[in-house]
A and B are shown apart, each in its own frame.
Chain A
Amino acid sequence: MTPARSDDELLARFRNEDRSALARLLSLAENGRAADLLDRIDGLTGRAHVIGVTGSAGVGKSTLVDRLAAALRKRNRTVGVVCVDPSSPFTGGAVLGDRVRMSGLSVDPGIFIRSMSSRGAPGGLARTTGDLIRVLDAFGKGVVIVETVGVGQGEVEIAGMADTVVVLEVPGLGDFIQAIKAGILEIGDLFVVNKADRPGADEVRGHIEGMLEMSNDRSGWRPRVLTTVASQGQGIAELVDAIESHHEHLCRSGSLETRRRDRREAELRRIVQTEFLARLDGELARGGEFAGVVARVREGRLSPHRGAELLLGARRPGPDTAGSRAPT
């Protein structure tokens, strides 16, 4: 057994680029037990280029990430990878299989790959994915690639986490209307038609380009559509070039800084929300006034909206709204 290590010792090893200290800090962050440590490494964050890779299940995200990471290594970048896979809604367990496609990378000391379960969170990421990105950033990884859960419709949380979002499509998934519904068109900085050796690739590319022409240009960046056959490494160099030119655009236009500030604020909101609900649960478990409000809402003697106001302290407890019986 490893003896319980102090935060100081763990941080010292982390700063010394000890990979097992990085692994342990990632676990603590994932389990929501690293608030103090994350506070202490905050000053080291904000340097990595965060790349999000998203798309439906089976479009080849893991394979593309594998090739992308290898290509970035050839350009002397250090790379951190966070792969998110869904948890089982029935048992809370998960099978995380993204490493299967990345075994060629795992012995390069310049690459660190971490698999993560979504742990029931909607949106294509886990609740603490942002913290894992920050830990890898603070460790000194030049690039952090985040692979989302295979998304269907509306899992666009990656847009709030990454500097550059790469959206994958493949020929043969059918109606591109699905992508429009999913809101995925709005979040992509780059679109990749993977498995482009299959019939229909040009058509998919044309569809995306057509849709992009109709959409509003937000930040002076024109999303580009590329084609790859990731399993054979085709188109990867061009993708890395495009990612780099997007990064340059972000730096030049000042939107990198804006995105990062937005991200820090979003993180603050997420933490407050999570902590607030945790404290509420704590209060409820202790019983008392809070539990009384919940009981009244449950029994229909108080509306949910009014109950929420009471819990938030916006109003002093008053007579029940639903029905006129006095509280018991």
Chain B
Amino acid sequence: MISAQKIRVLIAKPGLDGHDRGAKVVARAMRDAGMEVIYTGIRQTPKQIVEATLQEDADCLAISILSGAHGTLIPDILRQLREAKLDDVLVLAGGIIPAEDVSALKAEGVREVFGPGTDTRHVAEFIRENVRKA
């Protein structure tokens, strides 16, 4: 059958840091887990990220951020997601995010935060178990 549905993951890099090695590793790992990964490149604004999430009908938005600006950029993205009625999208964060900031991000709506060294199989499993069911 051709109706095999694939999980669509949008990987976004907001803000000014241009280091996307981690994002690319995750992109490839999710591909290898059989998902369809939309990679949008570096230095995206929250508005661009939310608009891409909408157009691509992504099931999961994975935000990679290393600049330290997660405290402002991620809540901004989550607010715009809610405004666009995209609150059923599973939002994950990764990169360099200090442990003391994790609970604040989760309170905002990030479902999980994955730091450096996370086994990508664990990320794939988390996505599979937590995306909306169509």
Contact = CB atoms under 8 A, between A and B. Distances in A.
B interface residue count range (under 10 / 10 to 19 / 20 to 34 / 35 or more) = 35 or more
Interface string A127-163: 1100000000000000000000000000000000000
Contact of B52 (A31, A99, A274): A99
B57 A24 contact: yes
A281 interface: yes
A95 B39 CA distance: 7
A19 B132 contact: no
A94 B36 contact: yes
A99 B40 CA distance: 5
A115 B28 contact: no
B120 to A, nearest CB: 12
Given A95-B27, A103-B40, A114-B56, A20 B32 contact: no
Interface stretch (B1-9, B68-76, B99-107, B110-118): B1-9
B121 interface: no
A1 interface: yes
A interface residue count range (under 10 / 10 to 19 / 20 to 34 / 35 or more) = 35 or more
A168 to B, nearest CB: 21
A5 to B, nearest CB: 11
B39 A96 contact: yes
Contact of A95 (B28, B88, B132): B28
Interface of B: 1-6, 8, 27-28, 30-41, 44-45, 47-48, 51-52, 54-57, 84-86, 88, 132
26 contacts: A2-B88, A20-B54, A23-B56, A23-B57, A27-B8, A31-B2, A31-B3, A31-B4, A32-B3, A87-B36, A88-B31, A91-B33, A92-B6, A93-B30, A93-B34, A95-B28, A96-B37, A97-B41, A99-B38, A99-B40, A106-B51, A112-B55, A119-B2, A128-B2, A274-B2, A278-B1
